Amino acid sequence: MNVSAKINYSYEQIHMLVKQIVEEITNKDIKIDLVIAIATGGWIPARILRTFLPHRGRFPKPLYSIGIINYDSDDNLLDDPTIVQNLPVNIGFNNKNVLLVDEVADSGGTFVKAKEYIEALSPKNLYTAVIHLKDKSKFKPDFIGENAGNNWIIYPWDVKNYDQEE
């Protein structure tokens, strides 16, 4: 892997990038009906995103997750992304604008797999959002917080020990 640098992000930086994504969605007048996080990296950005998305009525947008693994426990890329957690069968995607969220589009394989899965459920529209897009990604999401080039991104939720450098 050709990594330019390792970059640590704070929750505050992630928060601001997610807010920027929501502003772009809102400025394009896109109405999102439900949010789906790609587990596990997409959970936190999807939750923050849902906070900022405009909603009508008493309740915020529904938030679900789909579990897909693309790397093994040693951070080695798998040959094919694997769905390890399906969406609930009773969501009902007809006439719904869905936003699929992950933290990074690295190879892009996870997004491709998730998009195929959700499109088979026939939503009205499927939009995709990511905090960071890597140069090598074969998938280009609709909404991007920032381009990460070839940098290795260290998210605050992935840090195992704050006393030591990752």
The answer to whether residue 166 is domain-embedded is no
Could you tell me if residue 29 is inside a domain?
yes
Residue 112 parent element (H or E): helix 109-119
Number of structural domains the chain divides into: 1
Do 82 and 49 contact (CB within 8 A), yes or no?
A: no
Assess whether 106 carries a catalytic annotation: yes
In-domain check, residue 99: yes
Give the C-alpha separation, 20 to 138, whole Å: 23
Question: How much is the pTM?
Answer: 0.91
Q: Of these residues, 33, 75, 79, 106, which one is catalytic? A: 106
Counting beta carbons within 10 angstroms of the beta carbon of residue 48, is it exposed (0 to 12), middle (13 to 18) or buried (19 or more)?
buried
- Rounded Cα–Cα distance for residues 106 and 141 (Å): 11
- Domain assignment present for 84: yes
Per-residue pLDDT of the chain (166 residues; tens, 9 = 90+): 566 899 999 999 999 999 999 999 999 999 999 999 999 899 999 999 999 998 877 778 899 999 999 888 888 878 899 999 999 988 889 999 999 999 999 989 999 999 999 999 999 999 999 999 999 999 999 999 999 999 999 999 988 876 655 4
Inside any domain, residue 136: yes
Domain for residue 91, yes or no? yes
| CATH code, domain carrying 94 | 3.40.50.2020
Range of the domain at 103: 6-158
